[in-house]
Structure 1
Amino acid sequence: MPQPDLTLTPAGPALAPRYSDRHTAAAGTPTPPPAAIPTPRNSYLRLFAVPGARAFIVGNLIARLPMGMFGVSAVIMIAGAYDSYALAGGVTATGMAAGALTAPWVARLVDRYGQARVAVPATAYAVLGHLVLLLCVHEKAPVWALFATTALTATSPNTGGMSRARWAHLLKGDRDALHTANAFEQATDELCFMLGPVVAALLCSTLFPEAGTLVGAALFLTGVLIFAAQRSTEPPVSPRTSAGSPLRVRGMAPLLAVFLATGAVFGSMEVVTVAFVDGPVAGPVLALQAAGSCAAGLLYGRAHRTARLRTCLAAMALLMTMPLLAASTGSLPALAAGLLLAGMATAPTMVTGMGLVQRLTPASQLNEGMTLAVTALLGGIAAGSATGGWAADHAPFAAFGFLIPAGAAALALTLCAATRVDGRA
């Protein structure tokens, strides 16, 4: 009941109702709630509707595209200047090895001090390394200088891991939305590693050999600056604890072993496919695997029920036999179709695996945990590339090399079953 107000009238003070009779009569009726803002039905549109998400997605996309450009650009640049693909491959392999060693330490600093405080100077230092390498190649410096300067690029932060950490922070408690976000990130990885080499080769061939490295360095720094500027979505820095490496978390080491074997699938498949096709169409044919993975990842992200890791690995082991069977026919279109099918198993496997890493890793060490997974994956890619190259050189028959990725997929499944590392993302 509204309380009356004391008002002055010509007859003296009088009590008057605070509200009009109409409002008083309506006081007992409930006020209708405000109209709800419609929520997009598409799961990916709901991700983009998260406040601040679009800005950091754009920055991260710009920063991740060069990850697929630097390797090809360095090979073209060094091989053109020194007339040696062996030297070019050795220098790029050295850069990858140095990055694999330093990545967990950079990620630990990101967890401890924040993404913006660490990622920006680390990126600036890595970009400086790429530019110094470019100058050394342009001036035809001694070979040892190339190996020394490529190690300077090892401070590159794991932009994909930082993006996944933001989603884990923004979508905490919503497993379905986080699953969709992980699928989107995996599809982004596939897209960048599919487009990056194409863009790099185009720039180096149409402009000048150093163009790919220059453009890649500019995009990398610009993207990280845009990404780091979105402070509203940055995960808070957790208090420093005495917790050891995420490697000590129960189940993490066996899971990383599965990532190592999975990386061998990717590395060997790339080498044996290039060796089998042996022509200018090798790139487009190989890109079909990434295209299949990208499409499957986006579809998997919309699924309401996720698969267990063992199920994903079993599907990958089965589908990795498709390129082997297709190559046995000697038909290039058949191989292209086989690679497309094989690629459809890789993204769901990676999405589920990364989801398990997020579940096992403490929130205060999330960047470090995911970077360890990426490091294991890169180690597997390097081992798979070496094994695939040996198989291609010593193959008793043309399709022999495709036994390597099929065997690596079977090994990943066996490790998962033997160590009982399983679960849904």
Structure 2
Amino acid sequence: MSSATYHTLLRTPGAAAFFLTATAGRLGIAMTGLGIIWLVHGRTGSYAVAGLVTGGFSVTEALVGPQLARLVDHFGQTRVLPPVLLAHSAAVLSLLTLVADARPIWLMTAAGASVGATIPQLGALSAARWSALLQGERAPALPTAFALESLGNGLCFLVGPALVTAVGASSDPAHGMTLATVLVVGGGMAFAAQRRTSPATAGAAERRHAGRSLRRPGFVAQVGVNLTLGLYFGAMQVSVTAFAVEHGAADSAAPLYAVSNCAGLLAGWLYGLRRWRGAPAVQLACATAGLALSCLPLLAAGSGPELGLALAATGLAIPPILILSSVLTTASVKPAALTQAFTWLNSASAAGSAGAAAVSGRAVDAYGAHGGFVIAVAATSTMAALAAAHARAA
């Protein structure tokens, strides 16, 4: 085990440039959804309207993202990304203008939807570059590359929401949205400029064959794993907040989330430090089983410290699951469709999170925070069953 593994990986020609620029863009992406909430609520004073506009953003991001990824696989990252980023800039400008002018809610919602439809999936694009860069005898380094991606993504979604909240609370909420857009567009353009590491485009026949690989059982299993992982995320977002409120410590929700996130960052870093001998499908089955088991103490947690320990345990299992899912996706899907594959995983997770948030809200209203934790346990148990079935069939 040696942290030089990451250092060596980033010394691969062109790797540091595309990883760092993609990470800058992902920081902006992590700020965008919450930035819309701050922007709309700051102008309208209504969380209902802010939630509606943000919902439009989330739905189109999940639905349109795979279609943009298909264009990327067809025409290449460096040709598709710049016009998408320009369209994203125009969509954000439209949203800022409509909100500032207090336009009708449906117009603001449509603008929010256009922001989601044009936001680039830089994480999927970066993962596709690693897959193209680390082929042949370099392929054993892919898990480390995906661990690095997990670390970058985790840091972005830890820092991004805090940053946009600080900007939105201390100044004009539009400034937070503007900063997010500058990061997305600036990082995305710099990423697109790294032509040397961009995956080569395939011919029409190869693309058709690659498209069929998206229906392979191995990839379908990974979509299921990410869907159930999204269910877990959605249930936890509602349940942890409800738990903090029930115990008269609403301000403790943010530290509790931070405990889980920091544990995940540590686990992702440690996982990438060594080469694991077990088959990835078996490792995934073990990691998902570990997450399912670590969720059980949530049902008995009766205080903030108890919940914090349980969340730390669950956080340790998340990065290995994401890393192994990416590794298995690379093995299942042809290179000419990898960007679509990675984007579908993101969309599955987002869909699961949105659905679970709604269902968990009702469960919490009826049974308290532990009703939401039951949904999290059910989701992770289903995930473990899916991963175990895939491991047996592999």
User: One-letter code of the match for 1:377?
Assistant: S
Could you tell me how far 1:42 is from its partner in structure 2?
A: 1.4
Amino acid at match of 1:166: R
Which of 30, 35, 48 is the aligned partner of 1:68? 30
Tell me how far apart the structure 2 counterparts of residues 284 and 213 of structure 1 sit (CA, whole Å): 24
Deviant stretches of 4+, over 4 Å:
418-423
2 CA distance for matches of 1:220 and 1:398? 35
Q: Distance in 2 between matches of 1:106 and 1:368?
A: 8
Shift of 1:417: 3.2
Q: What does residue 120 of structure 1 align with?
A: 82
Question: CA–CA distance in 2 between the matches of 1:258 and 1:251?
Answer: 11
Q: CA deviation at 1:418?
A: 4.2
Structure 1 residue 385 corresponds to structure 2 residue 349:
no
Note if contact 2:329-2:341 (Cα within 8 Å) is conserved in structure 1. Answer: yes
SS in structure 2 at match of 1:51: coil
Instruction: Quote the residue 1:261 is aligned against.
Output: 228
Question: For structure 2, which runs of at least 5 residues remain unmatched after alignment?
Answer: none
- Note the 1:17-416 alignment, pairs <5 A: 42-153=4-115, 154-173=117-136, 174-241=138-205, 242-243=208-209, 244-278=211-245, 279-305=250-276, 308-326=283-301, 329=302, 331-395=303-367, 397-416=368-387
TM-score, length-scaled by structure 1: 0.85
Which amino acid in the other structure matches residue 165 of structure 1?
A
- Counting matched residue pairs gives 380
Q: Separation in 1 of the partners of 2:132 and 2:323?
A: 17
Would you say the 8 A contact 2:239–2:369 is kept in 1? no
Going from structure 1 to structure 2, the CA distance change for 1:207 and 1:106 (only over 3 Å counts) comes to same
Deviations 1:158-182 (A, max 9, x none): 1011111111111112233111001
Map of 1:4 onto structure 2 = none
CA contact (8 A) 2:294 2:314 kept: yes
Contact 2:360 2:371 in 1 (8 A): no
Instruction: Write the letter of the residue equivalent to 1:293.
Output: G
- Relative to structure 1, is the Cα distance of residues 230 and 422 closer, same or farther in structure 2, using a 3 angstrom cutoff? farther
Percentage of pairs with the same residue: 33
Q: Give the structure with the larger helix fraction.
A: 2
Structure 1 counterpart of 2:124, which letter?
G
Distance of aligned partners of 1:419 and 1:53 in 2 relative to their CA distance in 1, 3 Å threshold: closer
The one-letter code sitting in structure 2 at the alignment partner of 1:140 is A
Question: What displacement does 1:320 show?
Answer: 1.8
CA offsets 1:171-206 (integer angstroms, 9 cap, x no match): 112233111001110121111111111001000011
Alpha-carbon separation, structure 1, partners of 2:323 and 2:357: 23
How far apart are the structure 1 equivalents of 2:226 and 2:212? 18
Q: Is the 8 A contact 1:94 1:151 kept in 2?
A: yes
Do the aligned partners of 1:254 and 1:421 also contact (CA within 8 Å) in 2?
Answer: no
Asked which structure has the greater RCO (Cα within 8 Å, sep 6+), the reply is 2
Q: 1:392 to 1:214 in 2, by over 3 A?
A: same
Query: In 2, distance between residues paired with 1:183 and 1:251?
Result: 20
Aligned alpha-carbon RMSD (Å): 1.8
* Partners of 1:338 and 1:138 in 2: CA distance: 43
- 3-state SS of paired residue (1:167): helix
**Is the deviation greater in 309-318 or in 275-284?**
275-284
One-letter code aligned to 2:175: A
Report Cα offsets for 1:97-155 as digits up to 9, x if no partner.
Answer: 11111111110111111111101111221222122112211111100101111121212
Which moved further from structure 2: 300-309 or 103-112? 300-309
Moved more, 72-81 or 261-270: 72-81
Instruction: Give the Å deviation of 1:94.
Output: 1.5
CA–CA distance in 2 between the matches of 1:255 and 1:162?
18
Change (3 A) 1:175 1:422: farther
CA contact (8 A) 2:56 2:110 kept: no
Provide the C-alpha distance between the structure 2 equivalents of 1:403 and 1:227, rounded to a whole number of angstroms: 41
Q: CA offset at residue 367 of structure 1? A: 0.4
Q: Which amino acid aligns with 1:392?
A: V
Equivalent-residue separation in structure 2 for 1:377 and 1:411 (angstroms): 14
CA distance in 1, matches of 2:241, 2:201: 44
Per-residue deviation, residues 257-303 of structure 1 (Å, max 9, x unmatched): 22211110111111111122132332222122121111101111112
Matches of 2:353 and 2:392, distance apart in 1 = 21
Tell me the CA shift for residue 357 of structure 1.
0.8
Give CA-to-partner distance per residue, 1:223-256, whole Å, 9 cap, x none. 0111111111111112222333543224322331
SS class of match (2:204): coil
Q: Supply the distance in 2 between the matched residues of 1:422 and 1:373 (Cα, whole angstroms).
A: 21
Larger radius of gyration: 1
SS at match of 2:251: coil
- 8 Å contact 2:85–2:189 — kept in the other structure? no
Taking structure 1 as reference, are residues 50 and 384 closer, same or farther at Cα in structure 2, changes over 3 Å only? same
